[in-house]
Each structure stands twice: as structure tokens, then as C-alpha cells.
Amino acid sequence: MAIKLIKISVVYFVIGVCLGMYMSMTESFDFTPVHAHINLLGWLTMAVAGLIYVGFPGAAETTLAKVHFWLHNISLPIMMIGLAFLVSGTESAAPAVATGGTLMVLGIIVFAINILKNVRN
């Protein structure tokens, strides 16, 4: 799971940077919350999780690691697409943000349980 997390984090990094560049070029910063969340939850969080799993391969090989990976990677696009619509004025996108956000929190809780349970001295 370590390598998968690191590789997908780079994809989110490219998306976040391109979105930032688009906003800068158009001088329209409506999507700043989307940009920030993609970079934080996509690039940074997944890269750090991947590096933790490199350091603790026993935790990376668990079912919890797989559940964390998939919850994170299903929830983030749902939440970010919903948030993009929401900040664009589509109020009906709020349930997508809430659903994606809830799944993200669950994924992070699974990650925390995995780390607390399987990372040892």
C-alpha cells in the first residue's frame, strides 16, 4: 500500500497545482477550498501515509491499510467534485460534500486504528 499511496499522492499534487495555476491565470479564486483540500488530503496526507507505511511495512500489509486506501481514494473525488459545484453555486451538491467528508473521516479513523494497532518499536 505504501507505493500505491505515494504514487496516487503525486497525481493529486499535479491536480492541485494545476488548479492553483488555473485560478492564478484567471484571477478567480472561487475554487481555493478545493485546491487546499486536494493538496492537503490528496498530496500531503497520502504521501505521509505512504511514507509511514514504508517505515512500518507490517502496517502496510494489513486489510486496514487497504480499507484506508480505498476509502480515502473514493471519498476525496466525491468530496472535491461536490465542493467545486457547491462553491460554484450549486446548493444541491452539499450531500456529495457531506458523503465524501464522512467517508474521508472514516478512512482516516481506519488509518489511525491501523497505526495504533500495528506500528510498534
All three cell numbers of 23, joined, read 485560478
pLDDT tens, residue by residue, 38-80: 999 999 999 999 999 999 999 999 999 999 999 999 999 999 9
Coil/strand/helix, residue 33: helix
pLDDT band for position 25 (cuts 50, 70, 90): very high
All three cell numbers of 71, joined, read 476509502
Q: Are 21 and 81 in contact (CB under 8 A)?
A: no
Give yes or no for residue 121 having a pLDDT over 80.
Answer: no
DSSP assignment of 76-114, as one string?
HHHHHHHHHHHHTT-GGGHHHHHHHHHHHHHHHHHHHHH
**pTM > 0.85:** yes
Per-residue pLDDT, averaged over 3-14, amounts to: 97
Query: What does the pLDDT read at residue 91?
Result: 95
Q: Which residue is it, cell 488509518? A: 111
The whole-angstrom separation of Cα 121 and Cα 117 is: 12
Give yes or no for residue 16 having a pLDDT over 90.
Answer: yes
Query: What does the pLDDT read at residue 120?
Result: 87
Gyration radius (Cα) of the chain, Å: 15
Query: What does the pLDDT read at residue 20?
Result: 96
Q: Are 115 and 52 in contact (CB under 8 A)?
A: yes
